[in-house]
Amino acid sequence: MTQQAISLKNFPEKISVQDIAGQKIKIHFYGPKSYDNQLALITHYLHNKNFISDFSRKQAIKYLKEYIQYKFPKLEITPNILKDPLQAGIFEDFFHIPFPDPQKPLFTFIDLFAGMGGFRLAMQKQGGKCIFSSEWNSFAQKTYFANFGEMPFGDITKEETKQYIPQSFDILCAGFPCQPFSIAGVSKKNSLGRETGFKDKTQGTLFFDVADIISRHRPKAFYLENVKNLMSHDKGNTFKVIISVLEELEYSVHYQVMDGKAFVPQHRERIMIVGFDKRRFNGCEKFTFPKLGEPTKRIKDILDNYPDYKYTLSDKLWNYLQSYAEKHKAKGNGFGFGIADLNGISRTLSARYYKDGSEILIPQGEGINPRRLTPRECARLMGYPDEYIINKVSDLQAYRQCGNSVVVPLITSVSEQLVTAILK
C-alpha cells in the first residue's frame, strides 16, 4: 500500500472518502508544525462545528484558510466560507456516507478505542451525535472514515490527542483493551496507611486514560465494554481496581456479563460496564440491563449464496488442521477446528480469524473442503448491516476489525436503556 502525502502544493480540489479510505494519506500543511491529527481535526470540524472546543476550531480554520488561499486565490475568504467550505464545493464527499449523524440529536457522545464503529452505530440509533472519535489503528480508521465521513484522532494516550476532546459531552463510550494491572504499589501504600488515587492504581494502563478523561470531563454517563475474562484477571483484582476507581470518581456503576447470541448466531460473552454521575443523578438513575432471550438467528442466515472459492481451505491447510486436532485429542486437549452447525450458532469470532479460520469453518458438502467466513459474513456475525462498508481494507484487516468489534445489536440494546435513563 502506497502512502501519498498531500501538501498545499498538490492538494486536490476534492478529497473523497474513497480516496482516503483506499490508501494511506497524510495531509501536510505548510507551517511551523505538522500534526498527525490534521485530517481528523478537519473532519471533526466539518461535522461538529457547534460542539468542538475553541482550540480545535481555531486550528481547523487555520488549516482551511491556508488551503483555500492557495487553491482558490481569487475566492474571497469570508467567515461563512470557513464555517461551511461546502459552499465552495470543498470536502463535500465527507458527507456522502452511509451512516450520517442524526439531524436533531438528543445527546452527544465520544467514541474511544472506536475500532470499526460499532458503538457509534448503536448510539446514533438512539439519536446521539458523536463529537469526538479516537482509534490508533490506521486500517480501522479507514473503515470508520468510509462509513461516517470522520477520521478518528490517533493515540488517545497522548496529550496531543486528548486536547481535542470537547469539554462537554453526555456519554463516553469505550471498548478499551485490557492490560495487566499491577497492584503491588497500591498494596504497599495501603500498608503504610497512605491514600491512593486512581492515577496510582491504574497508571500505565489504557484504562487509566479512560478514567482520566472521565475525571476531566465528567460526562453524565459512560459505557465500557471488555472481554468476560476481565472479571477473573489476576484473581479478580484487576476488575476490583476498575470498579473502585470508577466509584472513586463518584459514579454509580452497573455491570453484567452478556452474550451476543441473543442477537447474532455467535456465542460471544462480554462484560458491560455502565456508570452514571452521582453528582447529577445522586445514585437514583433508573437503569437496568435488558433481558436477553434465546438465539433467534442461525449461522445459515448470515451466509452468502455464492462465496468466492478463495475462502475454501486448501488441501494443505485442511490436512494440517485435521492432524493438529487429532494430535491434541490424543493428549486429551480440546484444541482444534470448529465446523459450524448451520442451524445453530458459532464459536466466538476472534481477531486471529484471518490466520486459518479454524474456530468457525463452514461445511460445503461431502468431498469439499470447508471454507472460512467471508469478511461480509463476519460483519453480519457481529450485527453490522450490509450497507456498512468493509472493503476499503484487505480481507486480513477486515477479519481483524470484525474479531475485535462489539456485537452491534447488543450494544444498541444496552444503549437504549442507558439513554432512556439519562434523558429522564
Is pLDDT larger for residue 110 or for residue 333? 110
Is pLDDT larger for residue 328 or for residue 250? 250
| Average pLDDT over every residue of 380-400 | 97
Q: Which value, to the nearest 10 degrees, does the dihedral of the CA atoms of residues 44, 45, 50, 51 take?
A: 40
- Of 74-83, 313-322, 383-392, the one with minimum mean pLDDT is 74-83
Q: pLDDT per residue over 287-337, tens digit each? A: 999 999 999 999 999 999 999 999 999 999 999 999 888 887 766 665 678
**Per-residue confidence at 191, pLDDT binned at 50, 70, 90?**
low
User: For residue 3, what pLDDT is reported?
Assistant: 40
Angle at CA 272, nearest 5°, toward 266 and 273?
170
Q: What CATH number labels 299-404?
A: 3.90.120.10
User: For residue 154, what pLDDT is reported?
Assistant: 93
**Per-residue confidence at 29, pLDDT binned at 50, 70, 90?**
very low
User: For residue 324, what pLDDT is reported?
Assistant: 85
The partner residues of 266 in beta bridges, in order of sequence, read: 346
Q: pLDDT per residue over 136-145, tens digit each? A: 999 999 999 9
Which residues form the catalytic set?
178
User: For residue 7, what pLDDT is reported?
Assistant: 39
Instruction: Check whether 26 has a pLDDT greater than 50.
Output: no
Q: Is-above-0.75 flag for pTM?
A: yes
| 344 Rama class: left (phi>0) / alpha (psi -120 to 50) / beta | beta
CB 29 within 8 A of CB 109: no
**Per-residue confidence at 200, pLDDT binned at 50, 70, 90?**
low
Integer-rounded Cα Rg, in Å, for the chain is 23
User: For residue 32, what pLDDT is reported?
Assistant: 33
Would you kindly state where each structural domain of the chain is located, as residue ranges?
Answer: 3-95, 107-292+407-423, 299-404
**Per-residue confidence at 233, pLDDT binned at 50, 70, 90?**
confident
Instruction: Check whether 37 has a pLDDT greater than 80.
Output: no
Q: What CATH number labels 107-292+407-423?
A: 3.40.50.150
